[in-house]
Chain A
Amino acid sequence: MKIVVFVKVTPDTAATVKVDESGKVTWGDAPLVLNPWDEYAVEAALQTKEAHGGSVTVVSMGDESALEAIRRALAMGCNDAIRIEDPALAEDDSLSTAKVLAAAVNKIGDVDMVFFGRQAIDGDTGLTPPQTARLLGWPYIGLVSAFREIDPDGKKLTAERTIEEGRQVLSTQLPAVVSVAKDFGEPRYPSFMGIRKAARAKVPVWSLADLGIEAPAVKVRLPELMNPPKREVQCEFIEGDTPEEIAEKLADKILAEKVL
């Protein structure tokens, strides 16, 4: 099978992200990492390769910092990598990104499955995966938590997806686009052999010209960003001589404050 997994570099989850005086988002000197949701996508892609053969290509759109995410995916076991960068892509929205990614899938050619993480922890839209599927004209299954069947010859795919109400089982045909949910299973650690290869990997860079497309129009802009309002939290210790007395006071308080 020919598998593509799209990844993105994001600030580490431990970073303090805020809007600075100039209105730009900053995360100080916190490291950039492979978007944590994408780790699940890489894991699912690698498991699919291990079960059905073939290769996994990791693709990321972004400047050189995207190499951080690409190297991580290579160290986990992806076979090769492509980075997409073009000065005309300085500004983007989810749809313009999806247009570029769909073009990349077409250029790679003969792709059977495309994997995404559920969303990026920075933009948090979760829109790029279905948009890419739509542009490719392929079926899309979001939030996959397990595969029941992947049949590359019969071009069939049956997957379970996790939704708030429970689990759904969906069947569709290949090629297809999926996004992977956390309950797919813990992503593997990079191997040392993978690390050695990833550290040395020369990652080809594709421009818009290489993809054979014009810079897609950006429709959604973010004219202003604001920090969330500071939350005022008051802490009150409820005291009493016995646990029962404390519990009673707490219950009264909860009722008085109309929490319940």
Chain B
Amino acid sequence: MIKPELKDFLQSEEIKIIKGNVAAAYAAKSARVQVISAYPITPQTTVVEKLSEFVDGGLMPGTQYIKVESEHSVLASLVGSSMAGTRTFTATSGQGLFYMYEMVHWTAGVRLPIVMAIASRGPAPPWNIWADFTDVISCRDTGWMSAFTATHQEIYDEILMSYKVCEDYDVLLPKFVAYGGFILSHTSKPVILEDQDKVDNFLPPLPDEKGWPHIWIDPKRPLMHGNLIMPSGFYSEFRMKIHDALIRSKSKIKAVAKEFEKTFGRSYGNGLIQEYRMDGADVAMLNYGDLALQMEEAIDAVREEGYKVGMVKLRHFRPFPVEDIIEVAKKVKVLGVMDRATAFGSPTGGPVSSEVKTALHGTKGTALIFPMINGIGGREVTVEQQKEQLKILIKINETGELPEDLLHGTLWHGKLEVD
């Protein structure tokens, strides 16, 4: 491999046709992360490969890349680096995230603004390496924020926005930026890589020498962290603060999305959700991840046929946009909630549909919520199938009758025929 020229490290605005994983790596570079720690796992691998190229090629001067022996150590080392006052980054998928789980809780407990890209894949067994958001969603209650992205550009953009939200002194929490394994991680699309000065203005290279406001490592100001605390101590209050910060992050996410749009000219709805052709819609589908992008095509086609359908793209699972979902559910008569993830034994079997039902509980005059699941373990979902899904919602709206073939109230769409 030819070593890139050192001067290249200052990125100027450029459109590159790159894989989703490479977009994530470029985002980390644009964000001037100081410490990277990673362990390879399909379909995340090309993120860590690209970053090795950047760091070893001298394109990220000063940045340390720790090549650890496991994912537990990935997050453990970043906890160390972040506590010591640096901006940090990693990426993983499915099993890797599960292996980190102890440290996932730890990170939020220390309130560290670590950003982690997730090229989502289905949990094993059987082995599966394709798009399925069960991995990131199974960290629901850890105190991490989690974003779903639908395009290559959005991966790059969301990582930049995420640092800004995470490092806000009113938030100080870690965040996942998820995208479908292979579908986005391994396909190539044009991505605008932003001018470094412009990025630096939007996202100043924090923290300063003193580190984060609540934790630092400095012999002149010796600090301990994590001592045993009795039930009568502030444990409960610390936990309340995490929940409070996570809920309050909603307004930060919205503000940052607005500022991002102003700076770079790309809009992501209000940051939490993004509506597509919801004007006058009486039936809508809630999607997340790459299938939301493809759903736009299905919506266009079904609208063409004269039906008033729309789509809501869920951009954040944590914090959950309760208020926005209530507004959406007031506008339409039927709201399909399409999961590409499983939550076994939950009220619907789908994590987001369960969440939507909870959000609407006790709210009067809202849509009928119809839970659906598709694309599990990377199962292909075509535009035709998505049109079919919309037709199911239209039929429910017209007849008031639910389809027959439900599994405990939820439609698993796109099943194989078994003879």
A is bound by B: no
Chain A residues at the B interface, C-beta cutoff of 8 Å: none
Residues on B close to A: CB < 8 A?
Answer: none
